[in-house]
């Protein structure tokens, strides 16, 4: 009887462990870089979570993070299996997790761009040529942002032949594009660099006073945002799961979901598409 009881207890324990493993394996978690304010991100990505849950047949959770580096860390630690990264954060994440793949991008992300914006007191207006912003105060977005830091810094160094700290009276990092717009509009900084999509959305929503702040230059285009999936996802969720996720993202075509990004559609992406970002990051010293 004692042997039978022990066997039953052991079997119960094994079954409990199997159930526990199954629960973990059916929870698919994703995150996104915090490029806008948190309420906008939650609204956008909780809709995406519901869509993915329906398409993938597993529980899907959106995990908000406080910084670009936190998004990369969560991916590295396999706290998330999918991430909506910018160009730079995606490159950084894939270096840290070999075998991870960029699998989808917005149609517009093939030829993304940044806007340089200025407070009206500078007297600067839109120009095809790089503006004379020497000795101004300047704010980037997040330190890990492609459109708010990496590419703007690259073009600054190209045109001014100086590091930002040498070119400007004061250099700041607002943390996200919405705050960059707010800070330049308020005159806290004379000039800033922003994601053109965030600028256009804020303008459409009536959140920008063009009597106080305006676009003075737009950069050449470059590859930017993409969905990147973790190298271990098939091992955790079953063979072919990564392909299933990719298909779900490429088929994410409802106007409500697309407008929340905003993107016109999602298309296939590959790691090699973002090699120009890696080259620039090495050139200005953000990646060794």
The reported pLDDT for the residue numbered 259 is 87
The reported pLDDT for the residue numbered 25 is 54
Residue 256, domain member (yes or no): yes
Residue 18, domain member (yes or no): no
Asked whether residue 154 falls in the same domain as residue 130, the answer is yes
Asked whether residue 132 falls in the same domain as residue 65, the answer is no
Question: Where among 218, 250, 265 does a domain terminate?
Answer: 218
Question: Mean pLDDT for each consecutive 10-residue tract of the chain (288 residues)?
Answer: 49 47 67 85 92 97 95 98 97 98 97 98 96 97 96 98 97 96 98 96 96 98 98 97 98 92 95 97 93
The reported pLDDT for the residue numbered 36 is 77
- CATH code of 145's domain: 3.40.190.10
Question: Where among 176, 202, 218 does a domain terminate?
Answer: 218
The reported pLDDT for the residue numbered 1 is 52
Residue 16, domain member (yes or no): no
Question: Where among 199, 218, 237 does a domain terminate?
Answer: 218
Number of domains in the chain: 2
Asked whether residue 136 falls in the same domain as residue 190, the answer is yes
Asked whether residue 214 falls in the same domain as residue 119, the answer is yes
Domain residue limits at 35:
26-110+223-274
Asked whether residue 102 falls in the same domain as residue 199, the answer is no
Asked whether residue 62 falls in the same domain as residue 130, the answer is no
Asked whether the CA dihedral 82, 83, 84, 88 is positive or negative, the reply is negative
Residue 161, domain member (yes or no): yes
Which tokens is 240 given?
Answer: 């072919």
Which tokens is 129 given?
Answer: 């040529």
Asked whether residue 153 falls in the same domain as residue 137, the answer is yes
Asked whether residue 209 falls in the same domain as residue 117, the answer is yes
Residue 5, domain member (yes or no): no
Asked whether residue 102 falls in the same domain as residue 233, the answer is yes
């Amino acid at each position: 009887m004692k042997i039978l009881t022990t066997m039953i207890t052991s079997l119960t324990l094994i079954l409990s462990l199997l159930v526990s493993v199954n629960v973990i394996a059916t929870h698919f978690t994703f995150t996104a870089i915090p490029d806008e304010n948190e309420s906008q991100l939650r609204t956008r990505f909780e809709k995406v979570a519901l869509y993915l849950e329906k398409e993938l047949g597993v529980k899907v959770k959106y995990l908000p993070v406080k910084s670009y580096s936190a998004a990369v860390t969560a991916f590295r630690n396999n706290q998330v299996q999918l991430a909506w990264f910018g160009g730079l954060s995606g490159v950084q994440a894939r270096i840290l997790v070999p075998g991870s793949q960029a699998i989808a991008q917005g149609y517009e992300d093939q030829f993304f761009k940044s806007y340089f914006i200025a407070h009206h007191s500078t007297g600067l207006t839109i120009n095809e040529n790089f503006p004379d912003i020497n000795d101004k105060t300047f704010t980037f977005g997040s330190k890990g942002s492609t459109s708010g830091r990496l590419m703007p810094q690259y073009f600054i160094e190209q045109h001014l032949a100086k590091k930002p700290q040498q070119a400007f009276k004061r250099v700041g990092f607002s943390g996200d594009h919405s705050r960059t717009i707010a800070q330049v509009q308020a005159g806290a900084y004379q000039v800033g660099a922003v994601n053109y999509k965030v600028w256009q959305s804020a303008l459409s929503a009536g959140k920008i006073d063009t009597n106080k702040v305006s676009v003075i230059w737009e950069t050449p285009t470059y590859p930017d945002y993409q969905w990147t999936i973790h190298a271990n996802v098939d091992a955790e969720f079953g063979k072919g799961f990564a392909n299933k996720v990719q298909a779900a993202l490429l088929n994410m075509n409802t106007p409500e979901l697309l407008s929340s990004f905003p993107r016109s559609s999602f298309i296939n992406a590959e790691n090699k598409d973002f090699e120009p970002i890696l080259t620039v990051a090495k050139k200005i010293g953000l990646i060794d």
